[in-house]
């Protein structure tokens, strides 16, 4: 006899996981790159620390504002679609039922069975059925602006604090190498954690974030060196 079991699908983590990984990744890459650029321009340790701290604060606020505005726009669109769907369900119930039926037909059901499914789901919760199957709006994928903003800001600050810590702990003679090496290690760890939480390929995710982080730091360091030499 088969036993019922519950399943915790990883797609429910998409909302906060995307914001968290993006925030931490940007925090590490942007702050480490900023430090590398300033350091290779022959700046002193105090100047590097000030620049990095300013980058942390500005970046965290920028991430929070950007996520809030972006996800709020998504939420506004969802609300507009929700209002429109309510109106259509009130004024054109039969047309909406036919529309739902055709959606299930396109998914492979016979017309009669699709009609029965549409009728039963409509009887249970008509708005929910249309939001899910017609508009693709489900609860765990819904827009949450405040959650996204706070997650991005906090994880950015945590990510940015890691290369800043290396500035404090590293001798000036090896500061650039310490920041670069530690930041790449942090990025690799972040990629592995994000992949594990999202059920993705750990090696692929780790290699991806490490490569682009190294590229960003190398490019910024090169520009800093050129600017420092020119000045």
pLDDT tens track of the chain, all 231 residues? 445 444 454 444 455 566 677 788 889 998 988 888 888 877 677 888 898 999 999 999 998 898 888 888 878 887 887 788 788 878 888 888 888 888 889 888 899 898 888 888 888 778 777 777 777 766 545 567 888 888 888 989 999 999 999 988 888 888 888 898 999 999 888 888 877 776 778 888 888 888 988 898 888 888 877 876 544
In the block, residue with structure tokens 């810590």: 165
pTM score of the predicted model: 0.68
Angle between helices 14-40 and 202-230 (to 10 degrees): 30
Please tell me the distance from the alpha carbon of residue 220 to that of residue 230, in angstroms, as a whole number: 15
Torsion of CA 41, 43, 47, 52, to 10 degrees: 40
Please tell me the distance from the alpha carbon of residue 106 to that of residue 117, in angstroms, as a whole number: 13
């Amino acid at each position: 006899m088969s036993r019922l079991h519950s399943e915790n699908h990883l797609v429910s983590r998409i909302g906060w996981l995307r914001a968290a990984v993006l925030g931490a990744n940007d925090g590490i890459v942007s702050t480490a790159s900023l430090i590398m650029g300033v350091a290779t321009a022959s700046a002193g340790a105090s100047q590097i620390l000030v620049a990095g701290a300013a980058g942390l604060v500005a970046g965290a606020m920028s991430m929070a504002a950007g996520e809030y505005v972006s996800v709020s726009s998504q939420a506004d669109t969802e609300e507009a679609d929700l209002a429109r769907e309510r109106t259509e369900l009130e004024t054109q119930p039969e047309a909406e039922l036919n529309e739902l039926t055709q959606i299930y037909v396109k998914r492979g059901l016979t017309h009669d069975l699709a009609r029965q499914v549409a009728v039963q789901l409509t009887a249970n919760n008509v708005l929910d059925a249309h939001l899910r199957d017609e508009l693709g709006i489900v609860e765990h994928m819904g827009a949450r602006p405040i959650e996204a903003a706070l997650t991005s800001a906090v994880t950015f600050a945590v990510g940015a604090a890691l290369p800043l810590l290396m500035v404090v702990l590293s001798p000036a003679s090896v500061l650039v190498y310490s920041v670069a090496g530690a930041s790449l290690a942090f990025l690799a760890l972040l990629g592995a954690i994000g992949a594990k939480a999202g059920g993705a390929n750990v090696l692929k995710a780790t290699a991806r974030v490490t490569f682009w982080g190294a590229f960003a730091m190398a490019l910024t360091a090169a520009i800093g060196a050129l600017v420092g030499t020119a000045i």
